[in-house]
Amino acid sequence: MPDTNRQIILKSRPEGWVTLDDFEMRQGDVPAPGPGDVLVRAVFMSLDPYMRGRMDAAKSYAANFDVGEPLKARIIGQVSASENDAFQPGDVVFGMLDWADYSLAAGGRGLRHVDADLAPLPYHLGALGMPGMTAWIGMELGEPKEGETVFVSAASGAVGQIAGQIGRLRGCRVVGSAGSDAKVAFLADELGFDAAFNYKTADGILAALESEAPEGLDVYFDNAGGAVLEAALDHANPFARFIECGMISQYNLSREETPGIRNLTHINRKRIRMQGFIVSDHADRLDEFTDEMAS
Q: Which residues of the shown chain bind a second copy in the complex (CB under 8 A)?
A: 53, 60-61, 225, 229, 244-247, 250-251, 255, 258-278, 281
Phi, psi (deg, nearest 5) at residue 229: -60, -45
The nearest distance, CB 239 to a second copy, in angstroms, is 9
C-alpha 59/C-alpha 160 separation (Å) is 25
Query: With respect to a second copy, which residue has the nearer C-beta, 103 or 134?
Result: 134
Query: With respect to a second copy, which residue has the nearer C-beta, 256 or 287?
Result: 256
What one-letter code names the amino acid at 119? Answer: A
The nearest distance, CB 167 to a second copy, in angstroms, is 20
Query: With respect to a second copy, which residue has the nearer C-beta, 7 or 134?
Result: 134
61, 34, 35, 38: which is closest to 50 by C-alpha? Answer: 61
The nearest distance, CB 37 to a second copy, in angstroms, is 33
Query: With respect to a second copy, which residue has the nearer C-beta, 29 or 257?
Result: 257
Query: With respect to a second copy, which residue has the nearer C-beta, 200 or 269?
Result: 269
Residue 250 near residue 244 (C-beta atoms within 8 A): no
What one-letter code names the amino acid at 89? Answer: P
C-alpha 125/C-alpha 131 separation (Å) is 7
The nearest distance, CB 187 to a second copy, in angstroms, is 23
229, 238, 237: which is closest to 264 by C-alpha? Answer: 229
The nearest distance, CB 28 to a second copy, in angstroms, is 34
Q: Is the dihedral of CA 198, 139, 225, 253 positive or negative?
A: negative
C-alpha 156/C-alpha 291 separation (Å) is 24
The nearest distance, CB 65 to a second copy, in angstroms, is 16
DSSP per-residue codes, 148-192: -EEEESSTTSHHHHHHHHHHHHTT-EEEEEESSHHHHHIIIIIS-
Query: With respect to a second copy, which residue has the nearer C-beta, 11 or 273?
Result: 273
Query: With respect to a second copy, which residue has the nearer C-beta, 48 or 98?
Result: 48
Query: With respect to a second copy, which residue has the nearer C-beta, 105 or 245?
Result: 245
Residue 109 near residue 84 (C-beta atoms within 8 A): no
Opening angle at CA 98, ends 14 and 247, nearest 5: 45
The nearest distance, CB 267 to a second copy, in angstroms, is 4
> Do the bridges between strand 112-113 and strand 92-98 make them parallel or antiparallel, or are there none, so unpaired?
antiparallel
C-alpha 6/C-alpha 103 separation (Å) is 10
The nearest distance, CB 121 to a second copy, in angstroms, is 29
